[in-house]
Amino acid sequence: MGARGRPRWGSRQLLWASPWRRRGARARGTEGRVMSGRRNQGRCHQRALVHARQVETQREEQKKWLSQDKQFAANLRSEEQQETRRVIRNLQQEQHEQQLKEALSKAEEMKLLREQQLEQEERIAREMEKIRLDQIRDEKMRLQIRENSLELRELEAKLKAGYTQREWAAQITEKRTMLLDTMRHEAESARQMREEYERESQEEQKKAHLRWEQTVRYQQDLEQQLEEKERRKQEGYEEFLREKLLVDEIVRKIYEEDQREIELRMEKQRATQHYIQEFREKREEWKKMEQDKMEEENRKLMEFAHLQERRREDHMAQIREREALKDVLHQQLAERIVTEKQEREELEQIREELLLEEQEEAARQKEIAELEKKIKQRLEWQHTYQEALALKQLHLQAQHEEEEHFRQQMLVKFAEDDRIEQMNVQKRRMKQLEHRRAVQNLIEERRKLSQAEQERELKAQKEADQVEMMRRAIIEEERQKLLKEHAAKLLGFLPKGVFKDDKDLDLFDEKFKKAYRKQEENEVSNASFHF
């Protein structure tokens, strides 16, 4: 049943069926009335209006019923949705409760896991802290042993001496390298100077050759000029001869023309002959003067050529002299460089030998001091041991004397306390026995205490021996660490006494062993050579 007391589905069907039936009936009636109204439209106009109002009313009712039906269907859907939501809420609540339980259980498990993890972390942290403290304690103990161990200090001193020797060797090698570089630089400078000198000599020779060629060309030009001048003179002389021939021809013609007047002009002819003779004489004089002049010029040219040749020879001699002087200077410079190099090498070698001798002497003095120190320590240990034995004997003797004195004191004390003199013999004897037993018990207790003390001392001595053994083991470990860390770096510079025996060489590989043995062989051979 619904909220209004009607059946859900039947009422819904009725609500949907009845309006359509009524509408179908009304529609059929309306259709008939319309048809009849069409036939009689004028009569039924009012009736049509009424019918229209009825139709409108029916439509409004149908809308109302449809709205009510929609509202009812919506209410039905709302109720169904509420029921569904209620079921969903219940399911969600149950699921939420289940999830809450699972979350609580998981939280408990996580809490337990966190607690276990925290406990494990704390335990690991405690163990790590214990390990760290043990390591710190071990490191402190090792550091203290390293600082207080004479053997390790001696080994460190030897290793430092090895590093010092290696540093000295490196410095010496560096100095040698610098010296070699300097020598190479000086040799290169000398080579460059020699090349520069040779280049200058070649340039000077080229210049001298050019000057000689210029002199030769100048002499050739001068000779050509002289030849040209002589040729021109010869041409002038020939021209003069041609003119003279012309004059002679003119004279001859004049002579032929005036032959007829020979008698008349005898004086004139004589004068002409005299003139010719004078002309010939003048010509001979001129030729002789020209010849002398030409010979003088040739002589001057030859003197100038000889002078130029002597100058060239003098210049070449000066060049050769300068070259010889340069060669001598270069030779002296090279000899001085070689001498200075040898002196530096000898000085450096002397310094190295002195340095090595000083280092060896320092090492010997150090070994002697260490040996004296060890002997002194051994004597001190023996003296301390003897003093300890004497003190122990004195302590035992004093202990026996103290026990005896204590026994007598206790006997006297017990005798005084019990007034032994006032007792009879039997009681006195029994009392004395009782006193002796009491004293003996006290002595036994003292002996037990002394024995316990001796046992404690023995235990302490054993612990001290164990500590000493551990200390020796740590010293040996640290010694091996130092050897492993530094021996390979100082190969070739290891001082004597770094290795105790051949067992220490087992710490290294075969390559190191071979190199170390080779170093020992070289030292032995060098010692034999110096000896």
Q: What is the pLDDT of residues 418-444, one digit of tens each?
A: 554 555 556 667 766 776 777 677 777
Q: For 355-406, give the DSSP string.
A: HHHHHHHHHHHHHHHHHHHHHHHHHHHHHHHHHHHHHHHHHHHHHHHHHHHH
* Number of neighbours of residue 481 by Cβ within 10 angstroms: 14
How do residues 464-477 score in pLDDT, each as one tens digit? 778 778 878 888 88
Q: What is the pLDDT of residue 484?
A: 82
Query: What's the average model confidence in pLDDT over 71-93?
Result: 75
**Reported confidence tier of residue 506, pLDDT bands at 50, 70, 90:** confident
The answer to whether residues 152 and 478 touch, using CB atoms and an 8 Å cutoff, is yes
453 or 73, greater pLDDT: 453
The answer to whether residues 7 and 1 touch, using CB atoms and an 8 Å cutoff, is yes
Token output for 227: 């030849």
Question: For the chain, percent helix, then strand, then coil, each to nearest 5?
Answer: 95, 0, 5
280 or 364, greater pLDDT: 364
* Number of neighbours of residue 484 by Cβ within 10 angstroms: 11
Query: What's the average model confidence in pLDDT over 175-197?
Result: 76
256 or 503, greater pLDDT: 503
- Among residues of the chain, what percentage have pLDDT more than 70? 62
Average pLDDT score, the chain: 71
Query: What's the average model confidence in pLDDT over 47-64?
Result: 75
Q: For 220-241, give the DSSP string.
A: HHHHHHHHHHHHHHHHHHHHHH
Q: What is the pLDDT of residue 235?
A: 73
Three state DSSP letters for 397-444: HHHHHHHHHHHHHHHHHHHHHHCHHHCCHHHHHHHHHHHHHHHHHHHH
292 or 10, greater pLDDT: 292
Minimum mean pLDDT among 3-12, 143-152, 287-296, 522-531: which range?
3-12
For residue 141, what are the contacts with CB-CB under 8 A and spacing of at least 6?
474
What whole-number distance in Å separates Cα of residue 102 and Cα of residue 105? 5
Q: What is the pLDDT of residue 29?
A: 54
Residue 492 confidence (pLDDT) above 70 = yes
The answer to whether residues 387 and 400 touch, using CB atoms and an 8 Å cutoff, is no
Q: What is the pLDDT of residue 530?
A: 43
Query: What's the average model confidence in pLDDT over 191-215?
Result: 75
